[in-house]
Amino acid sequence: MQEAAFKYQFRNFEIDACTKELRKNDIRLKIHGQPLDVLLMLLERTGEVVTREEIRQKLWPRDTFVDFEHGINTAIKKLRQALCDSAYKPKYIETLPRVGYRFVAEVFRVPTGKLMVVVLPFENLSGDASQEYFSDGLTEQTITDLSSIASGRMGVIARTSAMIYKGTRKSIVDICRELDVQYALEGSVRRDGSRIRISVQLICANDQTHLWAQNFDRELVDVLTVQEELGRAIAEHVRVKLAPQKRAQAACAAPLNFDSYDAYLRGRYYLNRLTPPNTQRAIEFFTQATQIDPRCAVAYGALAESYVVLPITGDAPSGEAIAKAKGAARQALAIDPNLAEAHTAIGFAQFWHDWDWTGSEVSYRRAIALNANYSWARYRYAHLLSNTGRHEEAMVQNEIAHKLDPFSLIINTMCGQFRYQAGQFSQALAPLTKCIELDPPDFWVAHLNLSKVHAAMGNYPEALAEARRAEAFCDGGSTEPLSLIGHALAVLGRRAEAEVILEELFARAVKRYVPPYNIALIYQGLEEHELALEWLERAYRDRDVHMVFLNVEPKWEPLRSHPQFMTVLQRCGLAHRTVAAPHQLSA
């Protein structure tokens, strides 16, 4: 079996390494031959100098009677024309006089025709429902191990989408068709005291051939070794070569304490429910795991993930939560510098709290380089790109995340949110509506975004209805739905009702933290601009996580030219971020 083909993507361009077709916004450009060969050489060594002599040796052998100097100059000129690039202020191809060239833009190598595998939920055969967390945790850890083994050549469906099939009676063929994968791993776990038996089989979807089956009988202290064996065996049987550096890492990895790992699995069980109470419960288990084994890197990484979401889903004050997230992530990286989850958590903190857009991008790209199958790194990176005006790149990254995790509620929601933030309001409706059709249909973030889209389109009765649904479903974790309710009421001329919502937020603020941004938005709807700006100032001082939306939220349009608003935008580092106007990007 041949290795998977791939595309290079940079900004809104992509080139297929096999067909050598260069496209911009999915439109094929009329350029071919040696210019594209030169481009591929540069992309293969992005950031490195490719000398003119190296180009000559590959494309103009010595027995070829042509004017090489003229040929390469012409090729570079045609490339720059196709890319709308400049030799004097290059965005893509930098010239090093008399030496060669260097590709300086950010480049992603994206496999095409990639082998795709789904790890179906391991069945719990222990006869004890309380052990369900263990079989679920083993499923998740196996997905994680497989994802990182050969992430550039093999795609692995993420846990969120794989767990949809827990207890299903659907056939392997139907499941693989729904997920667009070629292989499925199914298995079972039987736990008896300190011993486990794991039974697995790898199935080819096309003809339901059982390519490989095996039982693993182990003491529980050996569970991580079992997962490593599974990952290597599956990779071998789908003929994907393991990355050499991954082998070295696995070979020298220190074994974990079982009790610590057991607490880690329990924490994962709660964290995956994504509600503030469950997140707090997860934090307790992850903390317990690190206390039992201070070298448990995965527990520190999961602890960082837990803390970093608290200000976003539960209105926790950002300073304390983000500080704890960063501390846990750094502890994880001190133990395992290659833990993609920890790099992603740091990138998340840099985005929401530090407003360090460059640092956040470095962290996300590092996470993706370590594990290209980590869908949360992809969608979170897309969030950064979208909020800083790089909308096309954001949608590319989120589409990759969606391929890896097609049933994820948050990733499906982001398909709509990023279009909304790009000003593509009508195009944002379909993915958000589709998200609500998934199970469960009460995902409050999807309703929240539908409210925003309807408001941007001037449909304020619908915006109000969706905001009320978001409020009902968020279980009091976030006050953002209340903020949208107040804003919609204000715009509809129902001022007294909007002021009641304000009073409700002020009353809540006596007992708990309420993000100032949410109060500012209602004042904006009431056209009390000075009060809106005053509360935005408070939001800036508080490092309110909602401030990352300042330059992509249409509701702030009336204030964009106000000096005080522009000052706040500048302090957040967003003043010079390119954001397309809605009419430029709408369908």
> pLDDT tens per residue, the chain (587 residues)?
333 456 788 988 999 887 888 999 878 998 888 899 999 999 988 889 999 988 888 887 665 556 778 888 999 999 999 999 999 999 999 999 989 999 999 887 665 666 789 999 989 998 788 778 778 877 877 887 788 776 666 789 988 899 899 989 899 989 998 998 888 999 898 887 778 888 888 888 877 878 788 888 877 666 666 666 666 666 555 544 334 444 434 433 455 677 887 888 788 778 766 678 888 999 999 999 999 999 999 899 999 989 988 998 889 999 999 999 999 999 999 999 999 989 999 999 999 999 999 999 999 999 998 888 889 899 999 999 999 999 999 999 999 999 999 998 889 999 999 999 999 999 999 999 989 888 777 889 999 999 999 999 999 999 999 999 999 988 778 999 999 999 999 999 999 999 999 999 999 999 999 999 999 999 999 999 999 999 999 999 999 999 999 999 999 999 999 999 999 999 999 976 544 433 332 22
Burial class (CB in 10 A: 0-12, 13-18, 19+), 422: buried
Rounded to whole angstroms, how far apart are CA atoms 359 and 325?
16
Question: Percentages helix, strand, coil for the chain, rounded to the nearest 5?
Answer: 60, 10, 30
Whether 242 and 269 share a structural domain: no
- Which of 62, 86, 109 is the last residue in one of the domains? 109
What tokens were used for 201? 């089989």
Whether 128 and 193 share a structural domain: yes
162, 119 contact by CB (below 8 A): yes
Whether 179 and 248 share a structural domain: yes
- Which of 337, 372, 407 is the last residue in one of the domains? 372
Provide the CATH number for the domain around residue 532. 1.25.40.10
Whether 34 and 137 share a structural domain: no
Whether 486 and 587 share a structural domain: yes
Rounded to whole angstroms, how far apart are CA atoms 329 and 449?
30
What tokens were used for 465? 């209805």
In a domain? residue 379: no
What tokens were used for 366? 């590092």
In a domain? residue 365: yes
Angle at which helices 357-370 and 340-349 pack, to 10 degrees?
160
> How confident is the model at residue 251, as a pLDDT?
39
Query: Mind spelling out the 3-state secondary structure of 152-215?
Result: CCEEECCHHHHHHHCCCCCCHHHHHHHHCCCEEEEEEEEEECCEEEEEEEEEECCCCCEEEEEE
> How confident is the model at residue 579, as a pLDDT?
42
In a domain? residue 378: no
Which residue range(s) make up the domain with 98?
Answer: 5-109
Whether 187 and 301 share a structural domain: no
- Which of 192, 219, 253 is the last residue in one of the domains? 253
Structural domains in the chain (count): 4
Whether 323 and 215 share a structural domain: no
In a domain? residue 383: no
Angle at which helices 318-335 and 297-313 pack, to 10 degrees?
160
In a domain? residue 377: no
Helices (H), 293-424: 297-313, 318-335, 340-349, 357-370, 375-387, 391-404, 409-421
What tokens were used for 278? 């469950």
Whether 368 and 417 share a structural domain: no
Pairing label, strands 49-51, 93-96: unpaired
Whether 443 and 515 share a structural domain: yes
Whether 313 and 337 share a structural domain: yes
Phi first, then psi, for residue 36 (nearest 5°) are: -70, -35
Alpha carbon 105 to its chain centroid, in Å, reads 21
265, 257 contact by CB (below 8 A): no
Judge if the upstream peptide bond of residue 255 is cis by omega within 30 degrees of 0.
no
Coil/strand/helix, residue 484: helix
> How confident is the model at residue 424, as a pLDDT?
95
- 5 has which bridge partners? 112
Rounded to whole angstroms, how far apart are CA atoms 439 and 231?
30
> How confident is the model at residue 237, as a pLDDT?
56
User: What's the number of CA atoms in the CB half-sphere (13 Å) around residue 514?
Assistant: 23
460, 452 contact by CB (below 8 A): no
Whether 448 and 574 share a structural domain: yes
- 7 has which bridge partners? 16, 110
In a domain? residue 387: no
Residue whose C-alpha is closest to residue 204's, from 174, 184, 179, 188:
184
In a domain? residue 521: yes
Looking up tokens 């985005």, which residue turns up? 351
Whether 9 and 77 share a structural domain: yes
Provide the CATH number for the domain around residue 161. 3.40.50.10070
Provide the CATH number for the domain around residue 80. 1.10.10.10
Query: Mind spelling out the 3-state secondary structure of 101-156?
Result: EEECCCCEEEEECCEEEEECCCEECCCCHHHHHHHHHHHHHHHHHHHHHCCCCEEE
**Counts for the chain of helices (H) and strands (E), in that order:** 26, 14
> How confident is the model at residue 419, as a pLDDT?
96
Q: What's this model's pTM, rounded to 2 decimal places?
A: 0.74
> How confident is the model at residue 112, as a pLDDT?
62
In a domain? residue 380: no
Q: Cβ–Cβ contacts within 10 Å for residue 317, how many?
A: 16
